Amino acid sequence: MTVIASVFALVLLITSSRYGYHRDELYFLTAGRHLDWGYPDQPPLTPALARLMSAVDPDALWVLRLPAIAAATFVVVCAGLLAGELGGGRGARALAAGAVAAAALTQTAGHLFGTTVFDLAAWSLICLLVLKLLRGADPRWWLAVGVVAGLGVQNKVLIVVPVVVLALALLLTGRREVFATKYFPAAIGIAAALTAPYLWWQASNGWPQWTLSRAIAGGSSGTSDSPIMFVLLQFGLFSPLLVPLWVYGLWRLWRSPYRAFALAYVVLFVLFGVVGGKAYYLGGMYPVLLAAGSVGLAAVLGEHRVRWVAVGALLAVNAAMSAVLFLPVFPVADLPETPVLAVNYDAGETIGWPRFVAQVAAARPPGADILTANYGEAGAIERYGAEYGLPTPYSGHNAYWWWGPPPDTATEVLTVGIPHDRLVALCATVEPLGTIDNGLGIDNDEQGQPLALCRDPLQPWSQLWPHLRTLG
């Protein structure tokens, strides 16, 4: 298990600096420079981590991604430990760790600095701690559950949903005794205390996270999924070759004293599918399913070395397939000729930002402010714009809207990615200045977006600003 986790971390580290920043990473860096107890679209933990890593080296992408690599590696280790708690020996622990390391979601989440990988790590640890409690461990482990749950909310509020569902599943499957300790309410108190500053910020600002969640469910995000796609993508999150293993694990858990995990998976599957959740929202459940399947598979393999070699080879093939599609393996120039961009949306969002900023700089008249359509564009200008003397950009997207509009004295504003029909409602004169072209033929979210000069706003920017707010 240790060897598997080490190799996994090494692969992520080696590939961490290929391609470039993801739009979300650029946003987290900017949010880290505006530290607060909350943001309209996320809690403060990940921006705070981005600020910390930027203090180490503001220009090194691999440094920014170190926490993500560590968190993903921790998920791999947790999978092995989960298998051990479920009664598996060394072989089962290695199988579970190998299966999770070979999975598409673990690799792609570990490659990018973002909330998803920390959510996976927090949920994996909660599953491990709850499993220990179900097996009769010291009830003081509940205090650790409270800490992890509270910190998990400070990373991504979504973790509340699986925590509540798992608690209800434990009650419904007759495991009430696990709650019969003074440490359980203490754990709730710890989690509530850690969560309180973020909830206070949300309440003080009109609960924008709720508005954002509804926008994502309605398809506003680049990774939003329809209910049908949500179901289909469950067979690809941890790679198709691993589906039999986690389905087997689901069946084994249902027939075991730990069926609460199986029930929680089914409930979450239905819940996220109905409300329009993204496919990866369910990702945190798969390490425990794969661990349970690995324990059963290891028992079947027994002492047959040939069978172990065959299974190991299958996992290696799965890992290689995941790496080719979800890690930056191909040269950037070759990507349009591969299936990567069709399968991996995020790969396209890590390409072309320096050239994007150079084009913005070339189009900008001296002295003009800059207004972008989304936080990725604004974050890229903040990251690379100093080379061209660009000012701090403005945007109505998510937290950027909270950081304020252009000054009312701004009579010329270069707009990026904002449609012409929207601009004519803002400005007396709109002059098209071309479109963004990454020069690689890669169809990402910025390719072909318009550049325009907005002259003489029809109202002061402070009055226009409420109409430019976008959450999604």
Q: How confident is the model over 32-79, as pLDDT tens digits?
A: 999 999 999 999 999 999 999 999 999 999 999 999 999 999 999 999
Q: Given pLDDT bands bounded at 50, 70 and 90, which one contains residue 80? A: very high
User: What's this model's pTM, rounded to 2 decimal places?
Assistant: 0.93
Could you report how far apart the first and last alpha carbons of the chain are, in Å? Answer: 39
3-class SS of residue 263: helix
CA distance 249 to 65: 31
What are phi and psi for residue 402, nearest 5 degrees? -65, -25
* Backbone conformation region of residue 381, classed left if phi is above 0, alpha if psi is from -120 to 50, else beta: alpha
Round to whole Å and give the CA distance between 60 and 17: 8
pLDDT of residue 289 exceeding 70? yes
Exposure letters 230-260 (e unless 16+ CB within 10 A, then b): beebbebbbbebbeebbebbbebbbeeebbb
Calculate the average pLDDT of the chain. Answer: 94
Q: What is the pLDDT of residues 444-466, one digit of tens each?
A: 999 999 999 999 999 999 999 99
Measuring CA to CA, which residue among 294, 293, 288, 289 is closest to residue 124? 288
Quote the CA–CA distance of 314 and 43 in Å, as a whole number: 39
Q: Rounded mean pLDDT of 330-341?
A: 92
Q: Is the pLDDT of residue 151 over 60?
A: yes
Q: What is the 3-state secondary structure (H, E, C) of 97-118?
A: HHHHHCCHHHHHHHHCCCHHHH
3-state percent helix, strand, coil for the chain, nearest multiple of 5: 65, 5, 30
Report the distance separating Cα 107 and Cα 326, nearest Å.
7
CA angle 239, 241, 242 (to 5 degrees): 70
What pLDDT digit, counting tens, does each position of 182-216 carry?
A: 999 999 999 999 999 999 999 999 999 888 777 76
pLDDT of residue 334: 92
